[in-house]
C-alpha cells in the first residue's frame, strides 16, 4: 500500500510572498487523513505554530505554504505520522510535537541515524507485547539506539526527559526477547537517611516509596499479572542500592536510577557488579543532588573518570528534551539560564 500520493512540490508566487513554497499532500485513506489532521485540524494548527507554515486541509488533501525548509519539515512530519496511523498506532499532540522535533533536528545537521533516504523520518522505538514507545526527541532517539548497542549507558539530564522510563522499557524488552534472564532495578534511598528505621513496616515497605517510579514504568510496559509473577519469582528485582554490595549480576539488565545521589564509593561498587552478558543503564540529574554538603556525587565523578572508555556511551539530555507538560520544559530552561547547579555545593 502506498502511504500517500505526494505531488511534486510546486513553487508558486503568492501576493506578498514571492519566495513561498507550496506542497500539496494527498492521503489515500480518508479516515486516517482525518485522524492525522486532528479534531478541528488541531494537529495541523500545531505544525503551523511550530514550523511557521500555513497548512490548509480540504478533504484528504493538505496544502503547505511557507519557506522551502519549513514546508519540507512539515511534509516529513505528516509523512511520518501518517505511516504511524497506517501501522495501527494513534497520533496524539505529543506525537506531533515529537515528529516536529525530529524533523527540525535532521535539518540542523546533527549527526543522527534518523534520516533515511528521501527525507523520511525513522525514530528509534522500544516494543513489548503491551506497548510500543517511540522516541520523541533526538536525544531520546540516540539514547534508545545506545542502549541497543552498548553494555553500559549513562542517561543524564533534567526531570521529564524520559531517562528512567525508557531505561525500564528497554529492560522489559530485553527480558521479553530472552536477551537477559532478569531485571534488577535500584535507587539510593538518600532522602530517607537515618530516618528509614523510623518508617513503619518491613524493609520492603520502607523502601518502596523511593522505588515507585520504577514500578510505574514496569506496569506501563508489561501486564500487571506478569510483573507480579516476575517480582515473586525474583525475575524482576527492585531493591535499594545497599543491597547490591558483594554481588555479580550476570545475564541481567541492571538500572541505577537517581544516580546523582550515590557517593563515589557507592558508584564504584555498583559499576563493578556488571557480570557476563549484563547490560547496565545509569540515570540521573547532576543538578538535583541531595547528598550532604561536601559529599561529592558518584555520578559526577563517574562521568569524568569514564569519559572515552570503550563500551560506555553517555547521552546528555537538555531542557529541550523534556516531554512532560510544556511548562515543565520552560521551568527547566529558566533554572538553566540562572545557572542553578546544586552539584557545585
- Backbone φ and ψ of 297, nearest 5°: -70, 135
In this prediction, residue 95 has a pLDDT band, given cuts at 50, 70 and 90, of confident
Domain boundaries, the chain: 5-119, 125-340
In this prediction, residue 325 has a pLDDT band, given cuts at 50, 70 and 90, of low
CATH (one of 2.60.40.10, 3.40.50.12780, 3.30.1370.10, 3.40.50.720) for 5-119? 3.30.1370.10
Q: How many CB atoms lie within 10 A of CB 69?
A: 13
User: Among the listed ranges 13-17, 118-122, 289-293, 333-337, which one has the minimum average pLDDT value?
Assistant: 13-17
In this prediction, residue 124 has a pLDDT band, given cuts at 50, 70 and 90, of confident
Strand partners of residue 222: none
pLDDT at 319 over 90: no
pLDDT at 345 over 50: no
Each residue's pLDDT tens digit, 170-185? 999 999 999 999 999 9
CA pair distance 174, 128, nearest whole angstrom: 9
Which top CATH class is 125-340?
Answer: alpha beta
Q: What percent of the chain has pLDDT over 70?
A: 80
Q: Sign of the CA dihedral 247, 251, 257, 260? A: positive
pLDDT at 106 over 80: no
Global pTM value = 0.72
User: Among the listed ranges 232-236, 282-286, 324-328, which one has the minimum average pLDDT value?
Assistant: 324-328
Each residue's pLDDT tens digit, 248-264? 899 999 999 999 999 99
Across all residues in the chain, what is the average pLDDT? 82
Q: Rounded to the nearest 10 degrees, what angle do helices 42-51 and 30-37 cross at?
A: 50
Q: What is the pLDDT of residue 226?
A: 93
More confident residue, 235 or 243: 235
pLDDT at 196 over 60: no
Amino acid at each position: 500500500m502506498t502511504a500517500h500520493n505526494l505531488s511534486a512540490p510546486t513553487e508558486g508566487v503568492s501576493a506578498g510572498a514571492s519566495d513561498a513554497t507550496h506542497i500539496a499532500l494527498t492521503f489515500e485513506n480518508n479516515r486516517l487523513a482525518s485522524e492525522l489532521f486532528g479534531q478541528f485540524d488541531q494537529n495541523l494548527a500545531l505544525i503551523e505554530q511550530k514550523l511557521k507554515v500555513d497548512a490548509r486541509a480540504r478533504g484528504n488533501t493538505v496544502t503547505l505554504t511557507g519557506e522551502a525548509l519549513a514546508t519540507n519539515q512539515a511534509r516529513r512530519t505528516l509523512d511520518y505520522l501518517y505511516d504511524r496511523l497506517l501501522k495501527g498506532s494513534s497520533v496524539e499532540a505529543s506525537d506531533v510535537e515529537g515528529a516536529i522535533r525530529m524533523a527540525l533536528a535532521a535539518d540542523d545537521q546533527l549527526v543522527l541515524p534518523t534520516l533515511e533516504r528521501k527525507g523520511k523520518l525513522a525514530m528509534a522505538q522500544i516494543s513489548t507485547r503491551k506497548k510500543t514507545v517511540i522516541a520523541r526527541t533526538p536525544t531520546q532517539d540516540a539514547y534508545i539506539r545506545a542502549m541497543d548497542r552498548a553494555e553500559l549507558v549513562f542517561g543524564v539530564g533534567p526531570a521529564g526527559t524520559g531517562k528512567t522510563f525508557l531505561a525500564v522499557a528497554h529492560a522489559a524488552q530485553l527480558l521479553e526477547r530472552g536477551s537477559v534472564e532478569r531485571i534488577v532495578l535500584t535507587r539510593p534511598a538518600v532522602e530517607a537517611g537515618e530516618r528509614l528505621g523510623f518508617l513503619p513496616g518491613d524493609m520492603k515497605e520502607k523502601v518502596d516509596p523511593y522505588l515507585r517510579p520504577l514500578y510505574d514504568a514496569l506496569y506501563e510496559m508489561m501486564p500487571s499479572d506478569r510483573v507480579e509473577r516476575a517480582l515473586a519469582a525474583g525475575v524482576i528485582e527492585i531493591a535499594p542500592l545497599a543491597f547490591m554490595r558483594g554481588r555479580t549480576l550476570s545475564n541481567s539488565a541492571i538500572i541505577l536510577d537517581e544516580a546523582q545521589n550515590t557517593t563515589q564509593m557507592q558508584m564504584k561498587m555498583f559499576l563493578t557488579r556488571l557480570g557476563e552478558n549484563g547490560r547496565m543503564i545509569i540515570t540521573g540529574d547532576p543538578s538535583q543532588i541531595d547528598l550532604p554538603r561536601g559529599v561529592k556525587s558518584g555520578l559526577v565523578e563517574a562521568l569524568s573518570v569514564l569519559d572515552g572508555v570503550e563500551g560506555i556511551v553517555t547521552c546528555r539530555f537538555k531542557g529541550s528534551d523534556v516531554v512532560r507538560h510544556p511548562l515543565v520544559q520552560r521551568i527547566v530552561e529558566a533554572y538553566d539560564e540562572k545557572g542553578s547547579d546544586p552539584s557545585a555545593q
